[in-house]
Amino acid sequence: MISSLGAEGIAVPPGFATTSHAYWQYIDANGIREKIAALVEDWQSSRTSLANTGQSVRNLFLHSAWPADVEAAIRTAYRELSAKAGIENLSVAVRSSATAEDLPDASFAGQQESYLNIWGEDALLNACRRCYASLFTDRAIMYRQAKGFDHLSIALSIGVQRMVRSDASGSGVMFSIDTESGFDKIVLINAAWGLGENIVQGTVNPDEYQVFKPLLGDSSLVPIIDKKRGEKAIKMVYGDKQTPTRNVPTSKAEQAALVLSDKEILQLGRWACMIEKHYGCPMDMEWAKDGITDELFIVQARPETVHSRRDVAVFKTYKVRNKGRVLTTGLSISDAAVSGRICLVESAKDLDKFVDGSILVTGATDPDWVPIMRRAVALVTDHGGRTSHAAIVSRELGLPAVVGTANATYVLHTGQDVTVSCAEGNIGFVYEGISDITTQTVDPKGLPSVRTNIMLNLANPTAAYRWWRLPADGIGLARMEFVVSNAIQVHPMALIHFDLLKDEKAKDKIARLTVGYDHKPDYFVEKLAHGFAALCAVFYPKPAIIRMSDFKTNEYAGLIGGAEFEPKEENPMLGFRGASRYYSPRYREGFALECRAIRRLREEMGFKNAVVMIPFCRTVGEAKLVLEVMAENGLKRGENDLKVYVMCEIPSNVILAAQFTEHFDGFSIGSNDLTQLTLGVDRDAGELADLFNEQDEAVKWMIARVIAVAREKGCKIGICGQAPSDHPEFAKFLVQAGINSISVIPDSFVAVMMHVVASEGCMTSDG
C-alpha cells in the first residue's frame, strides 16, 4: 500500500519487514529445526501433550540468539525509521504475518501475536523473538494440524511499523463488504477509543458505521447509511517499558460520543474502496487515528476470507417459528438459526468443561477458544462487535453467533434449551426453548425473467441486506411505522414538545434515547433517514417506495410520549390516520420531521431512488393539501426527480382514479383495506373472517378498474399484498389486468415469480 496507494492519498505508517528467509536463518543459525521436528513428532505420536510441546518449541525461539547479519539489519532499519521520524527509539508496532495466512480456504485470524508500543533496539529484538515463538502457540499448532499444513513449511515475516498515537484517539477495523450478508455495496467500520487490540479481542462493544460505496464518488453527498454508538467501556493506552500497554476505563463523555466524525467516516470509506480496487477482492482492514496530529492511517489490510469462499449465486434462508420469549439480544453473526442446549464457560481455564454440540456462552473469546468453538453449534458472548475475534472466527467456522449482548452470562445458564437466531437481520436473538427452524435454498441465476416487475415488501432495515442477491425490481413497500417503532420508539410530537411533557417516565426514556442530540427532533430525522437508507441501498438505483406514516391513533399513543398527543377513537381503523394527519394542526409538525428525513435521504445522502407514497388519502382535495404541506417542507413533486405515489385502498381512490392521477405519479393497491371497505368487513373481525376475501368479484372489479384507468393515464400501478403469493389464480388475474408490478415479502418472491411466469405464458399462448 505504501508503494502503490500512497500517491493516491492513502496514509500508511512507515516501517519495514523482516523476510521469511530471515526466519529460516534464525532457525538454522541456532540449530533448532531438527529439535522442533522431534518435539512435534512426539506430540503427533501421543508421547507428550500439546501444552508441553508448544511450550518447549516456544522456549527454543525465546532462548536463541540472532544471526549477526539479521540482528544488524533489524537494528539499522529501526534506527533509520526513528531518524526519519526525528524521534530517538521510536515507538513501533511489531506484527506477525505467517506465509500461509489468508489463503482462500484458510484464515489464521489472530493465530500469531502482535506487540504494540515497543521502543528501543533490544526491546524490538525481543518482541521479534516472541513473534517467531507465537508461530507455535497451542492454537496455531492445532490449526495447522487441522488444515494438514506441515509445521516446518510455514515461515513468519514480521512487520515493524511506526505506532500511530491512537492511544490518544481511536482505532478500529473495517470491511469493504457487509460481513454477514456479503452485500458488496457497503463499507462496514467499527471504532473504539484507544489502541485497536480491544476491538479485535472483542473486549469492547464498538461504534459501528455503514457507508454506501456507489455514492462515495460525489463529494457533495454524505452517504452514511448508519451510525450506532457502542458502549466502549474501556480503552487501551500506552503503559511503561515492562507493560507497554494497559486498559483503563473510558469517561462517560467518551462512552456517549462517536469516535469518528462524518468526514472521517467518509474518508475511511473511500480508502476502503481504493484498497479493494487495488487488490481486486473484498478486504479486511485495520485503521488508526493519531490523537496528536488528528491524521487517519491504514495500518493493515488482508483479503476477506469468508464470503470470497461462498457460492454467491446460491443462498440459504432460515425461518424461525414458534419462538419462545426473548432472553437476550446482540449483534447477529451469519444468517443461520439453531436450537440447542447451553454450556456456559466463563474463563479459559474451564475450557475442558465444554460439552460438544452445545451452544457456547461466554464473556468474550480469543484464539485460545478456537478448539471448542469448532465443537459448538452456536456462540453467544457478552462483549464484542462485528469485527471481534468471536465474530471473525464464527464466520470462518460457519457458526451462528450473537455477540455483544452485555448480559448473556448473567441471564443464561448451563443446561438451558434455547434457540439462537441470526436469521432476522443485524440483531441476533436468543429465544427460550426449542423453536421450529425451516430452511430454503435459492439460486437466483436459475430464476426466469418476467415482464411484470416483481418487487419486495421490506420493513426492517437491519434485515434488508439478506435479500440483495434476489433479482427484485426494487422495493414496492417500505413501511415507516416499522422504523419508527423499532429504531426511534418515540412519538415525534413528544420530541418537538419535550419540555412540555407531563409524563416524567416518558421524559426520562426520551432523554436516554436522545443522548448526543442537542436538538431532540434531530434524533427522529437522523434515525428515520438512516433506516430508509439501508432499504434504498439494497437494490439501488431501482426504486424504493417509502410509505409515509400510517399509524392508527391507538398505535401512535403506544409510542413513548405519544399518549399526550393522540385522541381516543372508537374506530381507529377508519379514524385519524394517513393523509388526514399530515395537514392537521395535531400532527403537522410531526409530518414535517418525516419530510425532513426523506429530504435528507434523497438530497444529502443521495438516495434519489426513494419514492414517497401517501397512505389512506380519502379525497382529491386531501391530496392537494398533502402535496402543499410536502412542498412547504422541501419535497415538491417533480423537483429533483421526486415521484409521489398514493395508496389505492379506499373505494374513492378507484371511483375518482382519473382525478387522482393528476396529482400522483403512481398507485399501489392496498388490497387489505380495499377489501374491507369494499365489502364492509372489519379485517380484524374473527366472526367475519370467512367474508373477508381479496378475490371477491367486487374487489377484483375495483382492482381491474383502477389498473385500467392508471394504464390509460400513463400512471404506474402496482400491488403490495399477500394474495399473489398464496393464490396463483390471483397473480394471473393481476397480470391479465395489466398491472405494472407485484410486491411481495421476500419468502414469497420465488413462488410469485413462478405464478407470474405461468400467467404471462398463458397470455402469450392465448394470443
CATH code at position 341: 3.50.30.10
CA 455, 313, 727, 691 torsion: positive or negative? negative
DSSP 3-42: HHHGGGT-----EEEE-HHHHHHHHHHTT-HHHHHHHHHH
DSSP 291-338: TTT--EEEEEEEE--SGGGS-TT-EEEEEEES---EEEEEEEESS-EE
| Residue 654: closest CA among 696, 621, 703, 613 | 703
CA atoms within 13 A on the CB side of 324: 14
- Buried b / exposed e across 111-134, counting CB within 10 Å, b at 16+? bbbbbbbbbbeebbbebbbbbbbb
pTM for the model: 0.88
Indicate the residue among 400, 426, 441 that finishes a domain: 441
CATH code at position 33: 3.30.1490.20
| 556 found inside a domain | no
For residues 433 and 416, the answer to whether their CB atoms sit within 8 Å is no
How far is Cα 237 from Cα 192, in angstroms, rounded to an integer? 12
Residue type, 767: G
pLDDT at 762: 64
Which residues of the chain are modeled with pLDDT < 70?
99-111, 308-313, 722, 762-767
| 680 found inside a domain | yes
| Domain co-membership, 284 together with 362 | no
How far is Cα 417 from Cα 342, in angstroms, rounded to an integer? 6
DSSP 673-725: HHHHHHHT--TT-GGGGGG--TT-HHHHHHHHHHHHHHHHTT-EEEEESSHHH
Structure letter (DSSP) for residue 194: B
Tell the residue number behind the cell numbers 452514511, with chain if given.
Answer: 224
Indicate the residue among 409, 441, 473 that finishes a domain: 441
Question: Could you tell me whether strands 666-669 and 283-289 are parallel, antiparallel, or unpaired per DSSP bridges?
Answer: unpaired
| 220 found inside a domain | yes
For residues 605 and 224, the answer to whether their CB atoms sit within 8 Å is yes
Domain range for 40: 2-162
- Residue 419 CB neighbours (<10 A): 24
| 703 found inside a domain | yes
How far is Cα 228 from Cα 232, in angstroms, rounded to an integer? 12
pLDDT at 123: 95
pLDDT at 606: 97
pLDDT at 112: 75
**pLDDT tens per residue, range 360-399:** 999 998 777 888 898 999 999 999 988 888 888 888 788 9
Residues in contact with 56: Cβ distance below 8 Å, sequence separation at least 6, in sequence order: 39
Residues in contact with 153: Cβ distance below 8 Å, sequence separation at least 6, in sequence order: none
How far is Cα 737 from Cα 642, in angstroms, rounded to an integer? 27
| 508 found inside a domain | no
CATH code at position 650: 3.20.20.60
Our count of domains for the chain comes to 4
Residues in contact with 767: Cβ distance below 8 Å, sequence separation at least 6, in sequence order: none
| Domain co-membership, 243 together with 302 | yes
| Domain co-membership, 154 together with 177 | no
CA dihedral 301, 304, 308, 310 (to 10 degrees): 180
For residues 663 and 657, the answer to whether their CB atoms sit within 8 Å is no
| Residue 558: closest CA among 548, 570, 568 | 568
| 519 found inside a domain | no
pLDDT at 312: 58
Question: Could you tell me whether strands 245-249 and 234-238 are parallel, antiparallel, or unpaired per DSSP bridges?
Answer: antiparallel
| Domain co-membership, 415 together with 337 | yes
| Domain co-membership, 6 together with 32 | yes
| Domain co-membership, 195 together with 142 | no
| Domain co-membership, 153 together with 189 | no
| Domain co-membership, 209 together with 186 | yes
- Residue 480 CB neighbours (<10 A): 23
| Domain co-membership, 353 together with 293 | no
| Domain co-membership, 32 together with 151 | yes
Query: Catalytic residue numbers?
Result: 389, 720
Instruction: Estimate the share of the chain in helix, then strand, then coil, as percent rounded to the nearest 5.
Output: 45, 20, 35
| Domain co-membership, 31 together with 153 | yes
| Domain co-membership, 127 together with 199 | no
How far is Cα 381 from Cα 217, in angstroms, rounded to an integer? 38
Cell of 363: 464473556
Measure CA of the first residue to CA of the last residue in the chain; give whole Å: 61
For residues 524 and 490, the answer to whether their CB atoms sit within 8 Å is yes
Indicate the residue among 141, 162, 183 that finishes a domain: 162
For residues 566 and 581, the answer to whether their CB atoms sit within 8 Å is no
pLDDT at 311: 59
